[in-house]
Structure formats: C-alpha cells, structure tokens
Amino acid sequence: MRATRIVFVTVGALGIVFGAWVMVDTVRPKSIWGLATWLIGAVIIHDAIIAPAVVAISIAMRRVGRRIPPAVIAIVQGAVVVGSVFTLVVVPEIIRKAKVPNNDTVLPFDYASRLVVLWAAIVVITALVVTVYLRRSSRQKARPSTRQV
Amino acid sequence: MRFSMRELLYGLRRGVTSPNRNARTAVVIGRLLGLAFVVCLGTGLYSHFLQEPLAWMRFPTRPVALYQVTQGVHITAGILCFPLLFAKLYAVYPQLFTFPPIKSVPEFFERASIAIFVASSLVQIFTGLLNTFQYYPWPFPFKQVHYALSYVIIGSLIVHIGVKLPIIARYWRKRDSYDAEGRFLEGDAAPAEAPAGDSADAPARVPVTVENAAPARGVVGRIGAWIDRTPEVDVKSSRRGFFGAIGVTAAALLVLTGGQSFRALDPVNAFAPRKRGIGPNDLPINRTAKAAQVLDTAVDPAWALTVSNGSTKRTFTLAELEALPQTQVDLPIACVEGWSQMATWKGVRLVDLADAVGAGSDSALKITSLEKRGGYRVTTMGSEYVRDPATLVALHLNGERLSIDHGYPARMIAPGRPGVLQTKWLSTLEVI
C-alpha cells in the first residue's frame, strides 16, 4: 500500500503543478491575485460561516426537540437541507435576472417566485411525511401484540 | 474566564460530533463526489479540445448528439456536486479542529493540499454555475481559470486519495464500518490516519456524556457544557436522514434543472437558466446580432459568402445559395453552457461548397464571421466535419428563414460540435 500511496501523491502533486503552470501561462498575474482572493474567500465563507451555522442549527434543533422523535427532527433537517441548497443555486439566478441578462432567452423564468413556491412545497411535503410517520409509529405502539406474534 | 486554544478546539470538536460525521460517511460521499469530478473532468476536457484541438486531433461526428450528451452531463454533474461537496465537507468538518493544528511536515502538506482542494472545488462549481447564465462577478477570466483549476482539483483529489488510502480501504464496505446496532466501528486503521485524529488525546472518539465533559469553566466551558447536555441522537434515523437529505436534494436538482439539457426533463424544468422553445425560431440564443454588432452588415443586400481555396475563389449571394440543392437535417444545437435543443436545419451542404473550390478530402476550413470582435469570430473546422454530409451552411431553421439572432443570412451547423463553433453570420470560408 505504501508504494501505491507514494504513486498517488506524486501523480497528484504533478497534476497540481501542471494546473498551476497552465494558470500562469494563460492568466494575467493580476487576475491570478483576483482568483486567490476568491479561493481564500470560499474557504472562509464555508468554514467560518456556513459550517458553524449548520452545526449551531443542528445542535439547537436537538436541544429544542427533546420531546420530538429523532426521526421527525431528521425529516425536518432534511427538508431544510433541500431548501438551502436550492436557495444557494437559485439566488444567483435571481440576482443576475435583476441585472438584466444579455438577452431574453437567458433566465426566462421568474426565479424568485418559483423559489417561494418551492419552499412552500417543501413545507407541505415535510408536514405530510411527518404526519404519515407519526400515524404509522403510533399505530405500531397501539398494537404491539401484532408485531410480536 | 479561563480557556486555552486546546480547550477551545476540543470543545468545538465535541460540539460537532455527530453519527454522520465519521470515516464511513466520508468514504461513501467521497466516492460519489470523486465520480462526479471525474465525469466533469472527462466531459470538460472533451469540450476544451473540441474548441482548441491539438494538431493531430480528429473527433467523431456521430452520433450527432454526442456533444449534446457530454456537455449536458458536464453541467448536470457539476450541479449535483453542490449537495455532494457540502455533504463531504459536513462529514469531515471536525477535522478542522485538531490540536495542535499541524503536527509534522507531511501533515502540513496534507492539510495544504486539502485547503487547495476545498477552495478550488468550491470556486469551480460556483463559478461554473454562474457561467451557465453568463454572470461573471469576479476579477478573473472564466474559461482559462475553469480549465486550469480542473487540473489542480483532480491533482489534489489524487493526492487526497493517496493520503487517505488506508481509511478508504478500511471503510470501503458497510459491514466493516458498523456493528449490528448501527454503531460506527473505530479502529484497525493506522492511528495517524484515523479520521478523528490521534487516539492518544482525542476526546471526540469517546462517546460524549456529561461525566467526561470538560468542567464548565469560562465561556467555552459553558458552551461545551450546554452542548454536552444535548440529548443523544438516534444513530439510525440520523444517518438515514443525512443520506435521505443528500439523495432528495440531488434528485430534485437533477429533475428541476436537467430539462435544459435533457428533453425528458423539459416538462419539469423549473430552475434551469434556459428553456427549450423560448427564443427566435423557437430556439434560445447566446449572442444576439446586436451584441455581435452585425445589425447592418448581416442585412446588407450586397452580402455574399466567399469560399476560397488558395487562388480559387467563388462568391455566393443569398439567392445563389438558395438556388443550390437544399438539404434538410435534424441536428442539436448544444452550448458549452449546457443547454441544448434539437432543431431542423435547411441549407447547402458544406461539402458541396468545398468541392466547388476543389478542396481535398482532408482539407480543413477557416471560418470567419461578420461579427466585429469576439473569441469565436474566426474558427477552424476539421476535415471530419467539412466532409460530413450533415454539415450545412444553414439558411432556414425550424421551417422559417434564419432569424438574424440565429445567424442570418447564413450560419454553420455541424454534428457534434459546441454551439460556439456553429458560426453565425458567415462571411468567408477558406480551405486550409
């Protein structure tokens, strides 16, 4: 395994160096500095803002939800994840649309209202899934004998 | 108030411990993300070399939808990287808080390669997404940076796999990763590689209970104590919820945006930046005649297409092109931005025009557009496309005369090429 690992690390390092060479070869130094700020900014935004927020929210949900079944918390957390990722993907479209795209065939939809509809749909679907889950689990509790036969 | 860096980092690591944050999750998500990255790299390089071929390169012209599929897959896989990359970063988040942060020279390089990997991946997928709707709010050129970063990303991925190989092998299979109750099995991997850090002083590996929690001193201690009183999470429902959320997000993104690239998903296209059938000739456009500054030259009655081969030169007015034998073909227009649509084109076979000036069977073409400036004003077309009977100098699109935004009076349409190379507002064709 040691030899394999050395090969991987070496080949990978060569890949990074080649990418850096292509970068220096095709992009002006000033633009590379601009890219560097974006690279550092991406890590800061993720590691220092998004990730701690996610951690804080999930701990808070666990604490607040002492009496809520864990599965329900998991379902709600899942719904928040779906909505958040969609928001991240769609908000740039909303911003770009507001700045007037190059032509009418780029970004033809009303993305803001569609995002609102999506969140509403997520809320409704989550409520339905939670209801179905709670009914099913209470039915199982009500008739334990049928499960034990 | 009394706290040290060490205590703070341990507190943070305890706080972010979760049944989903373990090496098995990192391996499972890592496999999917790695696959998506490799698919993006392969399809991306194909697109790159179609646009900037090396001298010896020839490309297949069949199936005609080849580029439509490769580029549709490129953009769709790129969008799917959003939930996968965030899931991966979520799974390994506690690793940020190891103490001391760097223990050795190899570890410094390992963390540096991960920093490069994470930063480039985040910038790559985010700028790639914005490029699909022509939005460039950054101080660097998109195309060159996207291309160069792809090598950096795949290189750091290979380094990362090399570094983590023991963990990847240890947790590759589910049955080696969890016991019968679904509890994560630690151990067997070399301690230095263990995901939660050094076994000697890693509180995160010990189940978090009130008893072994740090005493509630100072701000960090109090936060730690508050976190430690958090109820135990149910391992199974938590894990199901995690993978369920990733799966549902990925599926929903695929279904609600894939319609720009895949016809079957067109009816549920809710969030893609393009929609089939919207635009002149029922087809979206990228560059308008106004943006290309051809509003006058394209409608000039004196326009004629010049076809030359060395000293042999022929010119064709629009009426003369119309008088030549017309061919109708169904070919997709597929953009580097990922959207694509099948369309019906009618016009003159390019091979007939090439033959009219005595072009050989391996002649390539230099194609020049009327547009004033732009990276694709002058392009080269390999002989495989010139000789293909489906390659047309198109005059009609979807049953109507070509709209000026689609390249009136004449544009190129060839099977399997990126939209940027389907030159609009043709001016001259030179055999080379």
Mapping DSSP onto H, E and C, the string for chain A reads CHHHHHHHHHHHHHHHHHHHHHHHHHCCHHHHHHHHHHHHHHHHHHHHHHHHHHHHHHHHHHHHCCCCCHHHHHHHHHHHHHHHHHHHHHHHHHHHHHCCCCCCCCCCCCHHHHHHHHHHHHHHHHHHHHHHHHHHHHHHHHCHHHHHC
Question: At residue B426, does pLDDT exceed 50?
Answer: yes
Which 71-130 residues of chain A touch chain B by CB within 8 A? 71, 73-75, 77-79, 81-82, 85-86, 88-90, 92-93, 95-96, 99, 101-109, 111, 114-115, 118
Question: At residue A144, does pLDDT exceed 80?
Answer: no
The count of CB pairs under 8 A between chains A and B is 239
Predicted confidence band of residue B206 (pLDDT cuts 50, 70, 90): very low
Predicted confidence band of residue B210 (pLDDT cuts 50, 70, 90): very low
Of B184 and B198, which is predicted with more confidence?
A: B184
The answer to whether the Cβ–Cβ distance between B158 and A35 falls below 8 Å is: no
CB-neighbour burial class of residue A13 (10 A; exposed 0-12, middle 13-18, buried 19+): middle
pLDDT for residue B79: 97
pLDDT for residue B15: 67
Predicted confidence band of residue B211 (pLDDT cuts 50, 70, 90): very low
The answer to whether the Cβ–Cβ distance between B148 and A4 falls below 8 Å is: no
pLDDT for residue B230: 65
Question: At residue B287, does pLDDT exceed 50?
Answer: yes
Mean pLDDT value across residues B291-297: 94
pLDDT for residue B184: 86
Distance CA(A26)–CA(B417), nearest Å, equals 24
Question: At residue B201, does pLDDT exceed 60?
Answer: no
pLDDT for residue A105: 94
Question: At residue B343, does pLDDT exceed 80?
Answer: yes
Q: Which of B135, B252, B274 sits opposite A92 (nearest CB)?
A: B135
Sheet with B312-317, edge to edge strand ranges: B312-317, B304-309, B426-431, B365-369, B378-381
Residues of chain B with pLDDT > 70: what percent?
A: 88
Predicted confidence band of residue B36 (pLDDT cuts 50, 70, 90): very high
Provide, as residue numbers in chain B, all residues whose Cβ is less than 8 Å from the Cβ of A102.
134, 286-288, 291
Q: Mean pLDDT, chain A, as a whole number?
A: 90
Lowest mean pLDDT segment, chosen from B5-14, B78-87, B363-372: B5-14
pLDDT for residue B351: 95
Residues of chain A with pLDDT > 90: what percent?
A: 67
- Chain B residue closest to A75 (CA)? B241
Question: B347 with B327: CB under 8 angstroms?
Answer: yes
pLDDT for residue B243: 93
pLDDT for residue A8: 95
Question: At residue B235, does pLDDT exceed 80?
Answer: no
Question: B93 with B12: CB under 8 angstroms?
Answer: no
Provide, as residue numbers in chain B, all residues whose Cβ is less than 8 Å from the Cβ of A63.
226, 229-231
For β-strands B400-401 and B392-397, DSSP reports them as antiparallel
Which position has the token pair 């993978």? B243
Predicted confidence band of residue B191 (pLDDT cuts 50, 70, 90): very low
Question: B11 with B225: CB under 8 angstroms?
Answer: no
pLDDT for residue B96: 76
The verdict on whether omega for the bond into residue B273 sits within 30 degrees of 0, i.e. cis, is no
Question: At residue B6, does pLDDT exceed 90?
Answer: no
Mean pLDDT value across residues B322-331: 96
pLDDT for residue B188: 61
Question: At residue B409, does pLDDT exceed 80?
Answer: yes
How big is the CA angle at B245 (ends B244 and B249), to the nearest 5 degrees? 115
Residue B287: name the closest of B388, B404, B177, B207 by CA.
Answer: B404
Which position has the token pair 């030169």? B313
Predicted confidence band of residue B298 (pLDDT cuts 50, 70, 90): very high
Provide, as residue numbers in chain A, all residues whose Cβ is less than 8 Å from the Cβ of B234.
70-71, 74
Question: At residue A35, does pLDDT exceed 70?
Answer: yes
The sign of the CA dihedral B212, B216, B221, B226 is positive
> In DSSP terms, which residues pair with B312 in a beta bridge?
B309
Question: At residue B353, does pLDDT exceed 60?
Answer: yes
Provide, as residue numbers in chain B, all residues whose Cβ is less than 8 Å from the Cβ of A108.
274-275, 278
- Chain B residue closest to A76 (CA)? B241
Question: At residue B233, does pLDDT exceed 90?
Answer: no
Question: At residue B208, does pLDDT exceed 50?
Answer: no
Question: At residue B194, does pLDDT exceed 60?
Answer: no
Interface test with B, best of A89, A91, A118, A129 (most B CBs within 10 A): A89
Mean pLDDT value across residues A4-21: 96
Interface test with A, best of B86, B121, B210, B228 (most A CBs within 10 A): B86
Provide, as residue numbers in chain B, all residues whose Cβ is less than 8 Å from the Cβ of A14.
155
Question: At residue B202, does pLDDT exceed 70?
Answer: no
For β-strands B426-431 and B304-309, DSSP reports them as parallel
Predicted confidence band of residue B228 (pLDDT cuts 50, 70, 90): low
Mean pLDDT value across residues A121-128: 97
Question: At residue B239, does pLDDT exceed 90?
Answer: no
Angle subtended by helix axes B66-91 and A51-64, to nearest 10: 60
Q: Mean pLDDT, chain B, as a whole number?
A: 88
Question: At residue B109, does pLDDT exceed 90?
Answer: no
Q: Provide the total of helices (H) and of strands (E) in chain B, helices listed first.
A: 10, 10
pLDDT for residue A102: 83
Mean pLDDT value across residues A125-135: 95
Mean pLDDT value across residues B349-373: 93
Which 281-310 residues of chain B touch chain A by CB within 8 A? 284-288, 291
pLDDT for residue B209: 43
The verdict on whether omega for the bond into residue B100 sits within 30 degrees of 0, i.e. cis, is yes
Of B372 and A119, which is predicted with more confidence?
A: A119
Whether residue A61 lies within 8 A of chain B, CB to CB, comes out as no
Provide, as residue numbers in chain A, all residues whose Cβ is less than 8 Å from the Cβ of B273.
93, 106-107
Residue A74: name the closest of B205, B235, B303, B84 by CA.
Answer: B235
Distance CA(B128)–CA(B130), nearest Å, equals 5
- Chain B residue closest to A105 (CA)? B284
Question: At residue B64, does pLDDT exceed 90?
Answer: yes
Question: At residue B331, does pLDDT exceed 60?
Answer: yes
Predicted confidence band of residue A149 (pLDDT cuts 50, 70, 90): very low
Whether residue A1 lies within 8 A of chain B, CB to CB, comes out as yes
Distance CA(B305)–CA(B395), nearest Å, equals 12
Please list the alpha-helical segments (H only) found in B197-330: 218-228, 235-257, 318-323
For B95-105, how does the pLDDT look when each residue is reduced to its tens digit (9 = 90+)?
A: 777 777 788 88
Provide, as residue numbers in chain B, all residues whose Cβ is less than 8 Å from the Cβ of A115.
271
pLDDT for residue A145: 56
Provide, as residue numbers in chain A, all residues whose Cβ is less than 8 Å from the Cβ of B83.
81, 85
Provide, as residue numbers in chain B, all residues whose Cβ is less than 8 Å from the Cβ of A107.
133, 273
Q: Which of B134, B159, B233 sits opposite A106 (nearest CB)?
A: B134
Distance CA(A70)–CA(A62), nearest Å, equals 8
